[in-house]
Amino acid sequence: MICQSLRYILLALLFAVFSFFSCKTEAPPAAPVPLTLESQTIERKNGPDCDKPDTLVFNCAHVNFRYPVLKSGSDSLQKTVDNWAKEFMTTWVGMSDEPDNLPPLDEAINAFFNMHAEQVKEMPDAPAYYEAEAVDTVLLNDGQHLTLKMDGYSFTGGAHPNASSSVATWEVATAKKITLDQLVTDLGALQQIAEKKFREVRADIFKADGEGNPGFEFNETFQFKLADNTGLVKDGIYFIYVPYEVGPWAIGSTEFVLSFDEIKSIRKQ
């Protein structure tokens, strides 16, 4: 009788243990951890006027670059981000007949200063104020994707300075760059949505002025297209149109975000 009772008790215990483990839910996967980044700076200047206020500068060459450095993540992603940032900075100081074969960044900076020195030597009475700047911004860092932006500026004389931007999104797990065709199913439809957004954001440039002169309009010279620089952000896709990309220098840069709701009909899941 006692043995039979013990048998029932053991069976009940086994059933309870089995039920506990069979009903126990699996722990949810750990949330992605944002990467660790820091901004580093390269600053060099040469010339007798470099420490004077801007309005008094006559002879100075100044390079001031701030760029992102990835401190976590795979080696391949760290290298990819470093190469992307340095290539962008090099374009502002590197003078090359072959844009796809730019010199190393240090060489490019030295060439920038040498060019300034040559101008001062050849035209000592002419103003020689050279500037090259770059600054970095993190647009998205959620542990799954990393989107970085760099804005650049240079001036070596002329009617106006040069300015541009670069944006890139990488998949953290693979270190591969994300392109628009990986985010949407129809690039033509995306272009139509982007143009509508551009016209809304920059309504000011499309209006006639007070004297009745027509506003800006896209034409054969400045045709609208998808921006060269786009990136994934928390709420959608970030676009930036730099000067001369779809319009003259005078309209400057144009940036906006196409929300996921605005592109829901063509968004890839």
Residues facing residue 151 across a β-bridge:
135, 165
Higher pLDDT, residue 215 or 175: 175
Enter the DSSP assignment of 211.
Answer: T
pLDDT on residue 4: 55
Q: Where exactly does CATH 3.30.565.40 map onto the chain?
A: 37-177
Mean per-residue pLDDT of the chain:
89
CATH fold group of domain 180-259: Actin; Chain A, domain 4 (3.90.640)
Radius of gyration of the chain, Cα coordinates, nearest whole angstrom: 28
* Whole-structure pTM value: 0.86
pLDDT on residue 269: 75
Confidence band of 212 (pLDDT split at 50, 70, 90):
confident
Residue 96 has pLDDT above 70, yes or no: no
List the one residue out of 190, 191, 134, 186 whose CA is nearest residue 163. 134
Exposed / middle / buried, residue 87 (Cβ in 10 Å: 0-12, 13-18, 19+) = middle
Confidence band of 12 (pLDDT split at 50, 70, 90):
low
Q: Where exactly does CATH 3.90.640 map onto the chain?
A: 180-259
CATH fold group of domain 37-177: Heat Shock Protein 90 (3.30.565)
